[in-house]
Amino acid sequence: MKALVVEQLAPDYAGCVVKDIPTPKPGPGEVLIRVCAAAVNFPDLMQTRGEHQHKPSVPFTPGMELAGEIAALGDGVPGGIDGFQVGDPVCGGGRGGMAEFAVLPAAGLRRKPDALTFSQAAGYPVAYLTAYVAFERCARLQPGEWVLVHGAAGGVGLAAVDLAQIMGARVIAASASDHKLEVIAREFAPDATVNVTQGFRERVKDLTGGKGADVIYDPVGGDIFDESLRCIAFGGRILSIGFTSGRLPVLPVNIALIKGFSVMGVRAGEYGRQFPDKGAENQEAIWKLADEGKVRPRVDAEYPLNDWRAAFDSLADRKVIGKTIVRPDL
């Protein structure tokens, strides 16, 4: 089979190559999947350079989210009506998505919701699980509250815009691009948008009647976090999702003392590992929304496997609105 293989860790994906490798065989409890779509995430890019906290041993195939059809079942995988069958459309994550075939544990797979395409399903779970844990478990978001979503055009940010609306919040979508905000306004209709390059704290205060945002969802960090401290409501919650700006901000605790707000770190996967029962509930909740057709995961572009570099660059260059997908089946 053809697969994208990271043969050595290097800048600019210099250690990556598409090559023919043996098709894996599923072991006990595993399933072989013919991959139809694999999402591109920032951790995939970072892992090619060895800069992510999870460091697979080289050689490895990136791709932490995928969707496709079952090609073979390993020993012990339940079949029949209540289990899996060859040809079933499924989605899941873990490793090896950027290849024509991938092996994953059957226990971690989900049947692809009919309401989602393969590409939508591949880019769905990480972003929406992150937003769900952030809003439901950490912030305890309530209907009618004001939510400021930074990086709103990214996969994680756009999922937050979508989910906050589903939960009845009033949403301010923030980005550094007028074009991206125009697309978000047209397709997702948040209550307001704001371009952060011109400053945003006064705009947020105006929109919220001087109160400030009740919840701020921040995957950016850096200067964005610093200014967010100036427009968080008293008793508000700042959700720290990541640091795509490249700078880790520092919190002056006197501001937190004066304004009475909380800063919460959000790691959806780790939350599920620490609280397995709640983690299972989180998964059930987001997939129920997908099965009911309530969510709107946006696919920005699809690339054949041989064009993986263009797919990676689109994410690295911040050109994406939603998710970038690699299609090994093209």
- pLDDT of the residue at 93: 85
Chain mean position to CA 82? 29
- pLDDT of the residue at 240: 97
Average pLDDT over residues 205-229: 97
Average pLDDT over residues 238-251: 92
| Residue in this structure with the two tokens 């496709």, named with its chain if needed | 68
Topology match between the domains 2-124+297-327 and 126-270:
no
- Delimit the domains of the chain by residue range: 2-124+297-327, 126-270
- pLDDT of the residue at 49: 93
Q: Report the relative pairing of strands 2-6 and 170-175 from DSSP bridges.
A: unpaired
Average pLDDT over residues 94-113: 94
Predicted model pTM? 0.93
List Cα–Cα distances, 4 to 20, 88, 90, 96, 148, in angstroms: 9, 24, 21, 9, 37
| pLDDT confidence bin for 55, thresholds 50/70/90 | confident
Average pLDDT over residues 65-90: 91
The mean-pLDDT minimum among 69-73, 85-89, 92-96, 326-330 falls in: 92-96
Whether pLDDT at 290 is above 80: yes
In eight-state DSSP terms, residue 57 is P
Q: How many residues comprise the chain?
A: 330
d(CA 131, CA 235): 20
- pLDDT of the residue at 81: 63
The beta strands (E) that lie in 53-150 are given as 65-73, 89-93, 101-105, 110-111, 146-149
1.10.3720.10, 3.90.180.10, 2.60.40.10, 2.40.160.20: CATH of 2-124+297-327? 3.90.180.10
3.20.20.70, 3.40.50.620, 3.40.50.720, 3.40.50.150: CATH of 126-270? 3.40.50.720
Average pLDDT, the chain: 95
Percent of the chain with pLDDT over 70: 99
pLDDT in tens, 25-48: 999 999 999 999 999 998 899 899
d(CA 128, CA 322): 12
List Cα–Cα distances, 288 to 281, 284, 317, in angstroms: 10, 6, 33
pLDDT in tens, 145-159: 999 999 999 999 999
The mean-pLDDT minimum among 75-84, 130-139, 170-179, 211-220 falls in: 75-84
